[in-house]
Amino acid sequence: MKYLTRKEEMILLAILRLEDCASLVKIREHLKTSTGHEWTVGNVYVPLDRMRKLGYLESHIGDPTAQRGGKAVKFYHLSKKGKEALTELRKVHDRMWTGIPEFAKKK
C-alpha cells in the first residue's frame, strides 16, 4: 500500500469532516483553523487533483451561485479507496505511537 503524505492525510481528514461542503475554499479554511497555518491554493489544489486522479477522491460540480457571479463550485468527497487509505494510516499511526510513555494517551 502507498502511504499518504502528512499533507494528503490532513486534506482527506478535512474533506471527511466537511462532508458535503468540501470545496477548495472550505478545505483551505478548515486546514488553517485546524493547523494555525495559512495554506495556499497550490498547497491544497495540487494534492487534491493528484488524489482524485489516484482514486482517493471523487468530485462533482455544484450548481452556479449568485455569490460567485454564476460560477459553479467543485466539491470533493472521499471514495472507498480514500476511506480505506485513512483507516490503514490510522492503524499504522496507532501501532507506531503505542508504548511511547511520554506520549501515552491520558484518560
pTM value is 0.86
- Angle formed at CA 104 by CA 99 and CA 107, multiple of 5 degrees: 135
**Whole-Å CA distances, 92 to 24, 37, 79, 81, 95:** 28, 26, 20, 16, 5
Residue 32 included in any domain:
yes
C-alpha cell at 105: 494517551
Residue 59 lies in a domain: yes
Q: Encode pLDDT of 31-89 as tens digits.
A: 999 999 999 999 999 999 999 999 999 999 988 877 767 788 899 999 999 999 999 99
Q: Is residue 29 part of a domain?
A: yes
Residue 78 domain flag: yes
The pLDDT, as a whole number, for residue 2 is 78
Q: Could you tell me the CATH number of the domain that includes residue 76?
A: 1.10.10.10
Q: Is 50 left (phi over 0), alpha (psi -120 to 50) or beta?
A: alpha
Under the banding of pLDDT at 50, 70 and 90, the label for residue 12 is: very high
